[in-house]
Structure 1
Amino acid sequence: MAPSTQQVFIDGTFADLAQELAEYLNIGPEIQPLLEENKKDDALKRLVTTSTALNSSPEKEFTAAYNLLVYLVIQSPSVNIFLPRICENLSRPILSSPVNGPGLALSVLTTVFNLLQPDNEVRFNVFQAILRLVKTSGLFEMLRPQLKKLDTWLVEWDVDDEDQRKLFGQIADAAEDAGEEEQSYQYILKALRTFDKDEVSSTEAQNLSIRALKIALLSSTHFDFHDLTSLATVQALNPPQEVWWELLEIFSEKELEDYNDFRDEHEGFIEEQGLSNSKLHRKMRLLTLASVAASTNSRELEYKRIAKALQIPSEDVEMWVIDVIRAGLVEGKLSQQKQVFLVHRTTYRVFGDKQWREVATRLDQWKESLRAVKEVISRERQAAETQKEREMHEVERKVAGASGMGAGRRIGGRDNMVEMGTD
């Protein structure tokens, strides 16, 4: 969608142009008397009703014909009545151009969108038509740049929570159909935030929450589940959807052993819900390794401890460590010689009382280490000062000794000179 300054330039009076379009639609005789009686809206109503035929117009004439119709409708005080019908037509298949039709229709809808004032509520309907077209045609890339402006548009259109939720759902659907998993997920989260406290336990809210949870679980890049656990709608899954809530808790803060216990307790649930056990099992191993790395105090994580936590052979440890580093959950390096993983940085999956205790323990260790370092530095400084004092005393002693010898010779020489003078 181009800037709102876009204009459509068409020469001619309303009557002449309306008659021209009517002739093109083969309803000229019906429109002429309406125009002669200056019944513009009646003429427009008939033109708009017949405009479905424009979807069969030759490709070269399609855009010009629709732009003429839009130009005529825009001039009417009843524009908000006519435009939704035009948008509905454009959302349907363009029979004359199966290949380029979606692009042509999207171009006309964009023109309609841009010709309307920013605060015109019909813009919302036009945008929905654009979304429907994007979804059916797979042209999500053409929509992506405009999504940055959506929050501003929603304020201008004064859209209520329910309509916002529907709009976010449409965007999520269009993104999902286009393979844009992350975009789809983010707009589902936006939709979930539109439920008020009285709606968070509704069937719609639960279904949408489970949809978001499925995407997060199956994603190969999503490892932080705080964005879900913080939502009131997701929290409301417990107790009505307690199995889903239990699964979310496992991926939020627990480890592989807990996931395996879940599988045993709820046999078949993963497969029945369309989830992939192989994907979930792999993700759980990565999350478990991140947790183990975060809980180690020495920063040296032994291979055998990793193998036990991940339930893998020791020879596979390095492969899993490399994978967890690639996932961005942990930073560090492997020491094959010492058979340890040297942890440089790790991300806590959840930060609660246990994690605060770990931080406190670590701070105490650092405090003790710093105290020991301080004591070593203090001893070294004292020893250095003592050595410096010894060296200063030695220098002073040598200087004093040298001065004493020089003074004796000078006195002796002066006496001799005196004695020589006397003789």
Structure 2
Amino acid sequence: MASTKTDSVSVFAEGTYEEQIQELVNYIVRSRSDEERAAFIRPFQESLKNEKGSKPLAEDSERRKQLLSMVLDEVKGLGDGNEKEIEGFFNLLLAHFLTLYTLDSPEGTQRLHTLLETVAKAPPEHISIKYRVLSNLFNALPRNSPSRLAVYNTLLDLATSNDELSVLQISQDDVRTWLSEWAISQEQKTAFLKRIIDAYNTFGQPIPAYQYSLILVKFLPPGSPDSTTTVVDVIATALRLPTTFDFDSLLKIDGVIAVKTHELFSLLQVFLNGGLKEFIAWEASHPGALEKYNLKKTELERKIRLLALSSLGFKYVGQDLAYSKVAEALQIDISEVEKWVIDVIRAGLLVGKLSQTQQTLHIIRSTARTFEKEQWEVLEKRLLAWKAGLASVLEVVASARRAGGGGVPHASAQTQTA
């Protein structure tokens, strides 16, 4: 049985179905003249009459659906009410619509798309209520309903056309959840992700566009033409973005591994494990590649130097790193060391303290580009050193206790100072 769990509960207005239909009709014709109003209402009044011997309307779903269809045919816009009235009208209309129509039927699908188009094309001064009506509909639909895709695409188009993408407050977690719940095809899922990516790129927000591209790559069959094109673009974007330094997780995606023969894959490996020397060698062996993928040499050199400094710092956590070693690793003059250290700290890759007098950088924390056997061995050595230091402190405390009560406060003070 299909799930009918939704994110909201439909609450019908008080009164019988006949009274609720009359309420909807009266809202539609409220701004018309008395003569037009009377002519408009007459067919509904005739349809609401119970013929002798016929089933009561409450027991006749086909008649109720026919009446609602007559109402839906007359919904040409949002109406002339205030925002509260508009929202109330559509909430009541949609509650009956979702009750009486099967959304995966051709008729239900067509009715839904007509309603979405009607709301979306309403005058721009009603933008806030349009968002609310569409959001209410989205939340009223079952979580696994494929119709949620159509509703959210309408919301996305509305926000994009009004330069208000932030209004939707899209989150990657929500998108992942929706894609796992909606009963839609793989092609529809990838098309939806591409739509989100295009929206962010349109507004000049490459970082969220890149993050959704990572989700997209995982949905595409590894090695397929669409996957290869997307992966190459993702790698180029990751290299291009000045604040993106995590390449390890990228190289763990099946779709990325599938393009291991591509020239950008080898460049990605340089940024994961190499330094400036390896980057220069790669560029020499791939003439014209940087221009081909819109990559700037100066920006890549900056990024590879920051990564190299971060990797070097990881080996010296808790120790002093000489300026000369930094200059050698980055292939820079020793007078430029402090500038690069400040840059790597600002990038969030390293935390440390500079000593101009001693020409050293004391490393407090540093980020490893990857965490393989070598990094685990470094971490093991630090833990063993920390364990030995802790054992030494405990021995001092134990010695003080053995010496008597008078020595305990003194030992404690020494321990705190240490």
Q: TM-score, normalised by structure 1?
A: 0.70
Tell me the SS of whatever aligns to 1:54. coil
Q: How does 1:246-325 map to 2 (within 5 A)?
A: 246-295=266-315, 299-325=319-345
Tell me the SS of whatever aligns to 1:13. helix
CA deviation after TM superposition for structure 1 residue 230, in Å: 0.4
What is the alpha-carbon distance in structure 2 between the residues aligned to residue 310 and residue 330 of structure 1?
15
Q: 1:358 to 1:302 in 2, by over 3 A?
A: same
Q: 1:74 to 1:21 in 2, by over 3 A?
A: farther
CA deviation after TM superposition for structure 1 residue 236, in Å: 0.9
What is the alpha-carbon distance in structure 2 between the residues aligned to residue 35 and residue 18 of structure 1?
15
What is the alpha-carbon distance in structure 2 between the residues aligned to residue 235 and residue 216 of structure 1?
15
CA deviation after TM superposition for structure 1 residue 225, in Å: 1.0
Q: Per-residue displacement from partner, 1:174-203 (whole Å, max 9, x unpaired)?
A: 3444455443333222222223xxx21112
What is the alpha-carbon distance in structure 2 between the residues aligned to residue 89 and residue 19 of structure 1?
17
Higher relative CO (Cα under 8 Å, sequence separation at least 6) belongs to 2
What is the alpha-carbon distance in structure 2 between the residues aligned to residue 262 and residue 50 of structure 1?
66
Alignment RMSD, CA only? Answer: 4.3
The residue aligned with 1:409 is none
The residue aligned with 1:16 is 22
Q: 1:257 to 1:101 in 2, by over 3 A?
A: farther
Larger Rg: 1
Instruction: Mark the runs of 5 or more structure 2 residues left unpaired by the alignment.
Output: 1-5, 50-61, 404-418
Tell me the SS of whatever aligns to 2:199. helix
Q: How does 1:19-418 map to 2 (within 5 A)?
A: 19-20=25-26, 28=40, 35=47, 41=65, 48=72, 51=75, 53-54=76-77, 66=90, 69-71=93-95, 73-78=97-102, 81=108, 82-91=111-120, 93-94=121-122, 96-97=123-124, 100-144=125-169, 148-195=173-220, 199-239=221-261, 242-295=262-315, 299-355=319-375
CA deviation after TM superposition for structure 1 residue 136, in Å: 2.8
Tell me the SS of whatever aligns to 1:108. helix
Q: 1:298 to 1:28 in 2, by over 3 A?
A: closer
CA deviation after TM superposition for structure 1 residue 33, in Å: 9.7
Question: Does the 8 Å CA contact 1:213/1:248 hold for their aligned counterparts?
Answer: yes
- The amino acid across from 2:98 in the alignment is I
Segment drifting more, 8-17 vs 181-190: 8-17
What is the alpha-carbon distance in structure 1 between the residues aligned to residue 219 and residue 42 of structure 2?
48
Question: Does the 8 Å CA contact 2:351/2:364 hold for their aligned counterparts?
Answer: yes
What is the alpha-carbon distance in structure 2 between the residues aligned to residue 297 and residue 155 of structure 1?
42
CA deviation after TM superposition for structure 1 residue 333, in Å: 1.5
Q: TM-score, normalised by structure 2?
A: 0.70
The residue aligned with 1:415 is none
- The amino acid across from 2:253 in the alignment is L
What is the alpha-carbon distance in structure 2 between the residues aligned to residue 345 and residue 39 of structure 1?
72
Tell me the SS of whatever aligns to 1:226. coil
CA deviation after TM superposition for structure 1 residue 148, in Å: 4.8
Q: Per-residue displacement from partner, 1:358-396 (whole Å, max 9, x unpaired)?
A: 667x579959x969x99xx99xx9xxx9xxxxxxxxxxx
What is the alpha-carbon distance in structure 1 between the residues aligned to residue 172 and residue 153 of structure 2?
13
Counting aligned pairs with the same residue, the percent is 24
The residue aligned with 2:54 is none
CA deviation after TM superposition for structure 1 residue 234, in Å: 0.8
Question: Does the 8 Å CA contact 1:10/1:68 hold for their aligned counterparts?
Answer: no
CA deviation after TM superposition for structure 1 residue 349, in Å: 0.9
